[in-house]
Amino acid sequence: MKIGLFSTFMSPRADRIMIRDFAQRCEGMGFDSLWMGEHVVLFDETEHPYPGAADGKLPVPRGGGLLDTVATFGFLAGLTEKLRFGTGISLISQRNPLYTAKEFATLDWLTGGRMDFGVGVGWCKEEVLASGYSWEDRGARSDEFLQLVKQLWTEPVTEFNGRHFQVAACHMDPKPLQKPHVPIIVGGHSAPALRRAAQYGNGWYGFQLSPEAARPLLESLRNMLSEAGRNPAEFELIITPGKVDAQIVEAFADLGVHRLVLHLGSQNPAAIDDRLRELSSLLG
């Protein structure tokens, strides 16, 4: 099983030196990948709670914010050689598909094919609306988004006429180095998210799950893959556990999970040292 790390880098603590040193340490220690979350703007009050925390609040320090994933991975591309980079997740319900396709094809080009494109529809209604998109149809729009991005990444000429996106005949280059395209890893625990993964994804990403909570989701996902005519053996299962130790790693391996992306937690320098020592014991 491959083991990577998840860290939502937040200002002001996550400056260029901290991020550079952290990524290089991860690579040197043998971690497979580094994943980042995404939020463009933050709100003091939201209609829907953040699903990744018990109190429903994003754990962002006052006066801080999340760094942009594309810019950060571009910064790290020239400072590492083997470490993969993944988005956990890119909020495609509030993104422009052409710009996103261009950004991630370029990242894949510059990293030598080390990108994973983790996607989801998002939970923050206020952020989707602020980005200029509607909330109620975000799922259908995300499906079209993935269809369009795949065409831009794989077809010499793309022409798209959907309900949400219309693109006259055009071409986008360079194409991603990975073939047929950058792996699309669909996140989410709902039935529509699992169906989206089975239809459009190269893998699925579950977040803050125990082996017990993951088991029924994986069973549903494998059934949906079979219904879609997909081979489950060619589909990657990626999970960020809620907590982790050697027994939990073994339990996820028994479930057929291919990669664990372990949460870093605090970005306090002393806490990072302790956490990396703790997690490195799970490698190999």
d(CA 20, CA 74): 12
- CATH superfamily, domain 2-280, is Luciferase-like domain (3.20.20.30)
d(CA 219, CA 222): 5
Is residue 52 predicted with pLDDT exceeding 80?
Answer: no
Q: Are 197 and 164 in contact (CB under 8 A)?
A: no
What pLDDT does residue 34 have?
Answer: 98
- The model's confidence at residue 107, banded by pLDDT at 50, 70 and 90, is very high
Closest CA to 276 of 110, 284, 267: 267
Closest CA to 35 of 9, 6, 75, 14: 6
| Residue 110 β-bridge partners | none
The average pLDDT across 3-17 equals 92
What pTM value is reported for the model?
0.96
Per 3-state DSSP, what percentage of the chain is helix, strand, and coil (rounded to 5)? 40, 20, 40
- The model's confidence at residue 136, banded by pLDDT at 50, 70 and 90, is very high
Supply angle C-alpha 132, 136, 141, rounded to 5. 70
- The model's confidence at residue 13, banded by pLDDT at 50, 70 and 90, is confident
CA atoms within 13 A on the CB side of 52: 21
Mean pLDDT for the chain overall: 95
Which amino acid, 43?
F
Q: Are 186 and 193 in contact (CB under 8 A)?
A: yes
**Helix (H/G/I), strand (E/B), else coil: 207:** strand
Element (H, E) at 196: helix 191-200
The average pLDDT across 269-281 equals 90
**What does the pLDDT look like over 170-204, one tens digit per residue?**
999 999 999 999 999 999 999 999 999 999 999 99
Q: What residue ranges do the domains of the chain occupy?
A: 2-280
